[in-house]
Amino acid sequence: MGIGGDNIAIQFNHLQKDFGLAKYLVTGGAGFIGSHLVSALNGLDHQVIVLDNLSSGRRENIENWLGPNTCLVEGDIRDQSLVENLLAETAGAFHLAALVSVPQSIERPTESFSINLEGTLNLLEASRKQGNKKIVFASSAAVYGNRHSYPVSETMAGQPISPYGLHKLMCEQHAELFANLYNVNSVGMRFFNVYGPRQDPSSPYSGVISIFIDRLRRGLAPTIYGDGSQTRDFVYVGDVVQALIKAMNSKKQGFAAYNVGRGESVTINMLWQILCDVVGTNLPAKLGPAREGEIHTSLANISKIEAELGYKAEITLQEGLIKTYEWATQ
């Protein structure tokens, strides 16, 4: 299964005693983060139902785990009856299906609303009808927008500057409402910049690290949008999986939102330099115009998730870049 498959599953074997054995629904489970979560859940001997329409996810991402304990259902998170039927078979859901691109949400705000908000609402409503099954869902650092003070913490009010960020904030607001009105337990995971094996570089909206590595493999200079001084808090996908599992395992009632990052930031220019050092090249990057709707500075305060869930970012940026580059070139 290679780097990022077996290794991530093995990383969480120590959680099995506390986590208990169950069946879980993973929406978007054939995607980048979802497939790593499916791998880890299989490593913990859980049964998994993957719901994915394969618009961006790939069957081959989870091919190694399909069988008695894991099945793939090709379908859309906006299909309410399908969502209700699948959740009925499980103890809870990890909700990762989304239109994840800020630029795409600006180009197609109605579609972003439909997929990101209505899809989440379908799961919350299904949970309400079925005895309040726990929902752990992907939120985003985009809910914060451009702030004047950093690191950002969960106590700060959301100020999104894109439809994507707004719709993720609205998902959290609906989740909190369902917790208060109907006792539906849920957790919104505010992902910062997630990277690692299986992240698809083919789209211009993919994560910057996967695009940079793809260019390095081909000896091509990447384009850095803006002047490269913008910063990001990059978190390795294995640490994100750790956070998701801990959130599902938590006994905390109601709704909670958590930052999921490393609590460290790096400029895009420095990121490119670190990658060049890893590979052993000095290829200069090109500069392009800044992208509309993208924030300039990103840095997470992760003290809440550390204190309440016992999360710890275990993989440094350099370690994660080496793992990702090795996977991309194997």
Tell me which amino acid residue 71 is: C
Query: Can you tell me the distance from the alpha carbon of 309 to that of 260, in angstroms, rounded to the nearest whole number?
Result: 11
Please state, in angstroms and as integers, the Cα–Cα distance from residue 267 to each residue in 147, 193, 271, following that order. Answer: 16, 12, 6
Pairwise CA distance, residues 285 & 269, whole Å: 8
Phi, psi torsion values for 260, nearest 5 degrees: -125, 100
Q: Residue 225 — left, alpha, or beta (φ > 0 → left; ψ -120 to 50 → alpha)?
A: beta
The closest of 203, 191, 206, 198 to 323, measured between CA atoms, is 198
Question: What would you measure as the largest C-alpha separation in the chain, in angstroms?
Answer: 57
Cα-to-chain-centroid distance, residue 67? 25
Catalytic residues: 164
